[in-house]
Structure 1
Amino acid sequence: MTADALGGNEITSVFIVSLGNPPPHHQSRHSAGHILLKALQSHLEFPAFKKSKQFANGLISAGQAADNVDIALWQCPGSMNDSGASVAKAYRQFASSSSQGISDDQWPTLVVLYDEMELTPGLLKVSPGSSSAKGHNGLKSVHQSLNSAGLMGRLTSKNGKFLKVGFGIGRPHGGTRRKEDVANFVLGQLPESELEQLQGCAEELMDMLEEAITT
């Protein structure tokens, strides 16, 4: 992600959040977003994550990707299905404290990292954040909370950006959609090959975000 590509001398603020579950499921398929966020922190050489009461008790690390690009990485502290309220609170705090600030002219970009069953394992996909959650309870919670907080309209207007990044985990063997099978699958550990791939795709993700944010 380069300064020139993101708008010359204008400040670009980006809040990247991850959805997942706390221990003992922090290395599960359902916590792929958290793993990817930590890979970004390492790739960008940002400070270690710290718990922040101000940011809804989530873990946060912040820095600059370029002279005019401020980025905060934030890990949602709660369970996947109840992520929304914390995401909305933390995003509003970031928006109000960022150099961009909250104004009618521009709102900081919100990016949500999550696991995507409808994608081939190992693939990344960037989509509009307001597009269908496709049954993903974490995204449903985020949508509901952003709407309730009056943030969704701002983020999806011409003056804001809301993106989601899915990391493909595929479906259980045979493509079953039985609730019990799906729950066991997403809470299972990521295979070593997929974990290594996830940890190594931070640069690819930054390139994808640069393209999405500037178009």
Structure 2
Amino acid sequence: MASPRFLVVSLGNQAPYFDCLHSAGHFAIAAAQKTLAPSQPPFATERYGKKSCKVSSAIPYTFVQSPTMMNICGPWVHATWKELLQRHHLQPSELGLVLVHDELEATLGTVKIRKWDASHRGHNGVKSVKKSMDPLNYPRGRWSRITIGIGRPAERTSDVVSDYVLRKMTSREVKTIDTEVGPKIIHCLRDLQDEWEKSP
């Protein structure tokens, strides 16, 4: 089977919360694009899922920053998935779907591959996407997630956690993602590609 193309979608928020820890995925795929440049073009504004969004499109990766707020991103991800299949005349088995999102508890800058069906651990963006995508008749063998660690607050109450993930990232946190995370994202994507190429 031919190597899959990848729709790599970062989950996060829009203004006024674009540069918060909960939007670390957006900064992570921006760092990944820079790691691959010039073969991966700079982000530009395009329309997917009937919304304007930031896109960097090449082969095999189409990086897209979700233009919706985190908790309601699922329908847009589904619409974008369908649109990319149509634009490039692909079968679902020829398009890998990878969500890139923040992970509470993991150390800042830690990057991990998570199986699609692994627990969402209370992440509302992942919950929204799974609610929209999982009931549909698509093959899911090439769907996965890549998580970006953002640390954790000292307390675990819902109010403290909410304030933590929605606070603006510090310059140190932005620099960590910008300089350390991009190559790790690409390494994960290539590991996924190797795995998928070996699968029947």
- Sort the TM-score into its range (normalised by shorter chain): 0.7 to 0.9
Cα distance in 1 for residues equivalent to 2:18 and 2:116:
23
TM-score (norm 2): 0.87
Q: Does 1:18 align with 2:3?
A: no
Q: How do 1:172-191 residues align onto structure 2 when only pairs under 5 Å count?
A: 172=153, 174=154, 176-191=155-170
Q: Does 1:87 align with 2:87?
A: no
Q: How do 1:1-215 residues align onto structure 2 when only pairs under 5 Å count?
A: 10-45=2-37, 46-53=41-48, 56-64=51-59, 70-98=60-88, 101-102=90-91, 106-151=93-138, 154-156=139-141, 161-172=142-153, 174=154, 176-200=155-179, 201-215=181-195
Contact residue 10 and residue 65 of structure 2 kept, 8 A: yes
Cα distance in 2 for residues equivalent to 1:55 and 1:126:
29
How much does 1:130 deviate?
2.0
Cα distance in 2 for residues equivalent to 1:121 and 1:42:
20
Q: How many residues align?
A: 191
| Change in CA separation of 1:199 and 1:40 when aligned onto 2, cut-off 3 Å | same
Cα distance in 2 for residues equivalent to 1:141 and 1:54:
15
Contact residue 13 and residue 98 of structure 1 kept, 8 A: no
Contact residue 130 and residue 162 of structure 1 kept, 8 A: no
Unaligned runs of 5+ in 2: 196-200
Post-superposition CA distance 1:169-189 (Å, at most 9, x none): 1211x2x22111111100012
Percent of aligned pairs sharing the same letter: 26
How much does 1:73 deviate?
0.7
Give the partner amino acid of 1:145: S
Structure with higher RCO (Cα < 8 A, 6+ apart): 2
After superposition, the CA RMSD in angstroms is: 1.9
How much does 1:29 deviate?
0.2
Unaligned runs of 5+ in 1: 1-6, 65-69
Cα distance in 1 for residues equivalent to 2:151 and 2:173:
11
Give the partner amino acid of 1:178: T
TM-score (norm 1): 0.82
Post-superposition CA distance 1:89-128 (Å, at most 9, x none): 10121123236x116xx33111111010031122111111
Cα distance in 2 for residues equivalent to 1:123 and 1:185:
18
Contact residue 5 and residue 96 of structure 2 kept, 8 A: yes
